[in-house]
Amino acid sequence: MAELLSIKIKIGNREYPMRVHPDDEQRIRKAGKLLHEKLKAYRDRFGLDDMQDLLAMVAFDVMADKLKVEASTGQVTESALLRIQNLNKALDETLSTTDI
């Protein structure tokens, strides 16, 4: 089993030590970087310095984006499932009327 890496991720004005699997390190660091960029964007856009307000706004924004992605993915999945069910029905009907 691979050793865990000790890293530090800066969120807002604090550093958080973490122990992560080497395969997850790049993803974790990217998440920290994106979070930092969103915090900075909200700070610049709204002129806020209160970290709790900034983190709340970023959390809300991220959750709204997540729900949007889930909704669009779910619609595609339901549509694909319906097409597969229709194809199966058509195949069943064709095979039941064909002498094989």
Q: pLDDT tens track of the chain, all 100 residues?
A: 579 999 999 988 889 999 999 999 999 999 999 999 999 999 999 999 999 999 999 999 999 998 898 888 876 667 777 888 888 887 777 777 766 5
Euclidean distance between CA atoms 9 and 16, whole angstroms: 5
Structural domain range at position 56: 5-97
The total number of structural domains that make up the chain: 1
Q: What predicted TM-score, i.e. pTM, was given to this entire model?
A: 0.65
**CA terminus-to-terminus distance, the chain:** 55
